[in-house]
Amino acid sequence: MIRISLLSAALLLCTSGTGLTQPRVALPDSPDYKGEIRRGPDGKLIVIDKTATRPAPTSALAATLVVGPDEAIRTITEAAKLARDGDIVEIRPGEYRGQTAIWTQNDLTIRGSGGNNTRPVLLADGKSAEGKGLWVIRGGRVRVENLEFRGVRVRDGNGAGIRFERGQLVIHRCAFIDNEMGILTGNLPDLTLEISDSEFADAARHQVDLHHLLYVGAIGRFALTGSRFSNGYRGHLVKSRARENHIRYNLLADGPGGRASFELEFANGGLAYVVGNVFQKSDSADNSVLVSYGSEGPRWPDNALYFSHNTLINDRHAGTFLKVRAEKFPAGVESWMINNLTVGHGDLAAPENGRFEGNLTAQRGELIDYAGQPLRLKPTSPLRGQVRIPGKAREIDLLPDAEFTLPAGTRPVSPGSALAPGAFQRGG
């Protein structure tokens, strides 16, 4: 006798065309996906919704990662690995040695706690990320606040406090001291860099390599406001190859020990608005030009320089305050030079194509010292009221509505009827 189990019989019936079917087994419902579960810096579990639109740093979904020797996250390197899109990384005051980081997140804020005198100091201590810099940033929108970057050296001589390679980067109230490059960017036209109220100083003193305090590559847009540059060495204080540049209310003064080449250079031209800045060249500088435009020829289709209400001080025996290399641009360059104030020996020549008006010269005795330099016209100066409102260029106002203030930053001004040439409207 052949025995057939009940299960086998059921299978035979299902396959014999009798029309009998197996009962359907109900499966459990699929669980709703809530997102990634992570442990926050306070040790509690949190859920990060990966299906949602990128949260802003202030979103309820954003985590604040606190970094410090007495915190759950002790190093910046560790924080860079733990951070996710939309997070805030807060770094406690103190020294952080050799803590390199690569940031790839979007909508990220990295900030130091404490004031200017107690803000966190990041010392390279011989280390670098990818042989490029102390930090490499290649995320989306990233904001860096109140941090100090020091002492970066790498094998190729381009060691940067921050190497910026992708996205949009905002730098506010930071310092870059004694690096081969303070900030060095990539060359992608969709990059945007904005720097405000920051300090760049003390270029590395190598006899062969040229080190710029700030080197902006061929990016789409560069804005620099309320920042201070000093003590360059053979390289430039600021060099930019950006397509569009907005340089307002900065102090680019090399100082008595500085030997920078150009104080400001737009190597490939582009569109440049330069309003309300101070440029000073030391008597020991090798280069006699303070500001240079187009020395390496054009890169962008649109090239123009709008240079208004700047103060230029040349401590050398001779030189050129502003040099525009128009001969390198076959299509020509529109250059406006309006209401600038020159101090010391040098030439400021009218452009071939553009406007040249209200540019005046003052002697040192006519000025009040500020930041160790003769910068401000005295309230009784006869030069006050001798210039007219400069107007707008391409809808951008060339009349300053702020001025630089120490140690870095700006304060608003409201120019009156006695409009003064140069970067300062106030008399004291």
What is the pLDDT confidence band of residue 61, given thresholds at 50, 70 and 90? low
By three-state DSSP, how is residue 14 classified? helix
CA 240/CA 252 separation, integer angstroms: 14
Q: What is the pLDDT of residue 47?
A: 47
Euclidean distance between the first and the last CA atom of the chain, given in angstroms as a whole number: 117
Q: Which amino acid is at 315?
A: D
157, 180 Cβ separation under 8 angstroms: yes
In terms of DSSP H, where are the helices of 16-149? 76-82
Other beta carbons within 10 Å of 125:
15
What is the pLDDT confidence band of residue 374, given thresholds at 50, 70 and 90? confident
What is the pLDDT confidence band of residue 62, given thresholds at 50, 70 and 90? confident
pLDDT digits (tens, 9 = 90+) for 172-221: 999 999 999 999 999 999 999 999 999 999 998 876 678 999 999 999 99
Q: Is the pLDDT of residue 345 over 70?
A: yes
pLDDT digits (tens, 9 = 90+) for 251-279: 999 988 888 999 999 999 999 999 999 99
CA 254/CA 355 separation, integer angstroms: 29
Q: Which residue has the higher pLDDT, 276 or 25?
A: 276
**Placement of tokens 């030009």 in the chain:** 289
pTM of the model: 0.85
Range 59-361 has CATH code 3.40.50.1820 = no
For the chain, the domains span: 59-361
DSSP letters for 364-381? GGGEEEETTEEEEEPTT-
Rounded to the nearest integer, the mean pLDDT of the chain is 87
CA atoms within a 13 Å half-sphere pointing along the CA-CB vector of 424:
24
